[in-house]
Amino acid sequence: MFRIAQSYYLYLLLLIPMFSMLLVYFIVWRNKAFNRFGEKTVINQLMPELSNGKLVLKFILIMIAWAFLVIAVSDPQTGSKIEKVQRKGIDLMIALDVSNSMLAQDIRPSRLERAKQAISRLIDQLEGDRIGIIVFAGKAYTQLPITTDYAAAKLFLSTISTNSVPVQGTAIADAISLASNSFGESNHNKAIVIITDGEDFQGDVLEETEKAVKSKITIYTIGMGLPEGAPIPVMNGNVQTGYKKDREGNVIISKLDETLLQKVSSLGNGLYVRANNSEAGLDKIFEDINKIQKTEIESRQFSDYEDRYQYFIAACLIFLIFELFVFDKKNQWFNRFKPFNS
């Protein structure tokens, strides 16, 4: 198995076309300069040792040496040892509400930001489990397919905002359906964590929950928000310009719908937790998730890699040595050395 450990150094290879253009420019400039002194045949007689061909050959050798040097700096490696690693865990899908109501600030700094912080802490606690992220508002979309790459999970999590889904709403039913299908045909223990303010006005949430339960999926819910609710900020970039209003000009208050979320978690054999300003609720749910029996979910092969840059360094030196024996001018000593002439 072959890989490049520091692949960004390969961008230095882009200097080769630039150097090539400079060489062409130099040759054209030199030829024009010679033409100002006289005819080409006369110049060749006056300067018989001049050779454009050798100049090009030297340049090619140097560029090949440069290419080998760049590859060497990029740290080429080959796999030398293969080990089998087994993981045990569960499959976990996080369904995060990104509707505008999640911008409400009854939970600081906002419902959405607090939920993202809690998910980030949850990822830090995972060991062997697979995790995926779904975002939903008026529709549900896969933000991150299920994976054991926790660094990628945190990266994708950081990009989530209310702009992640173009259609507004709170389609919890779509989120449950998409999360259930995201597990695929695996026989691992599975769980879905729904993080939302619960203001759902579309789809049959309980019906989708029943379907998930039949597939042996446990569903947990976290209510983001306080019962008294809060206005929904209107943002222009990172600047708040006011609060969302209805057609009559009244400020809309987004309130947590606990009833629906409690029904979903109860039907889904999970837990419901209401977030507040001291905790987001994922710790309690994670404790319960850890009680779920973990199964072997992955058997991957990892390779120990050994550096192979020394071979490319050697090739670079060989081409540089060749270049030293190519002279800009026709060498008189070599001209006298004619072993095939009698």
Q: How far apart are CA 85 and CA 76, in angstroms?
A: 24
338 compared with 41, residue with greater pLDDT? 41
Note the pLDDT tens digit of each residue in 120-177: 998 998 888 899 999 999 899 999 999 988 999 999 999 999 988 988 888 899 999 9
Domains of the chain: 9-76+308-336 (no CATH), 85-299 (3.40.50.410)
Return the pLDDT at 339. Answer: 44
Give residue 90's Cα distance to chain centre.
23
Note the pLDDT tens digit of each residue in 5-37: 888 889 999 999 999 999 889 888 877 777 776
Residue 47 has pLDDT above 70, yes or no: no
Arithmetic mean of pLDDT, 182-190 = 83
Residue 325 has pLDDT above 70, yes or no: yes
Residue 62 has pLDDT above 50, yes or no: yes
Kindly indicate the confidence band of residue 65, based on its pLDDT and cuts at 50, 70 and 90.
very high
Look over the chain and give the mean of its residue pLDDT values, rounded to a whole number.
83
- List, in sequence order, the alpha helices (H) in 161-200: 172-182
Return the pLDDT at 305. Answer: 75
Give residue 44's Cα distance to chain centre.
59
Residue 99 has pLDDT above 80, yes or no: yes
Arithmetic mean of pLDDT, 283-308 = 74
Please state, in angstroms and as integers, the Cα–Cα distance from residue 64 to each residue in 67, 73, 318, following that order. 5, 14, 10
Q: Where are the beta strands (DSSP E) in the chain?
A: 2-4, 76-89, 91-97, 130-136, 140-147, 190-196, 217-223, 230-231, 233-236, 239-243, 253-254, 272-274, 295-307
Kindly indicate the confidence band of residue 341, based on its pLDDT and cuts at 50, 70 and 90.
very low
Please state, in angstroms and as integers, the Cα–Cα distance from residue 16 to each residue in 128, 207, 326, following that order. 45, 62, 20
Instruction: Please tell me the pTM assigned to this model.
Output: 0.63
Return the pLDDT at 340. Answer: 41
288-307 CB burial, b ≥16 within 10 A, e <16? ebeebebeebeeeeeeebee
Q: How far apart are CA 227 and CA 274, in angstroms?
A: 10
Q: Which of 48-57, 134-143, 319-328 has the lowest mean pLDDT?
A: 48-57
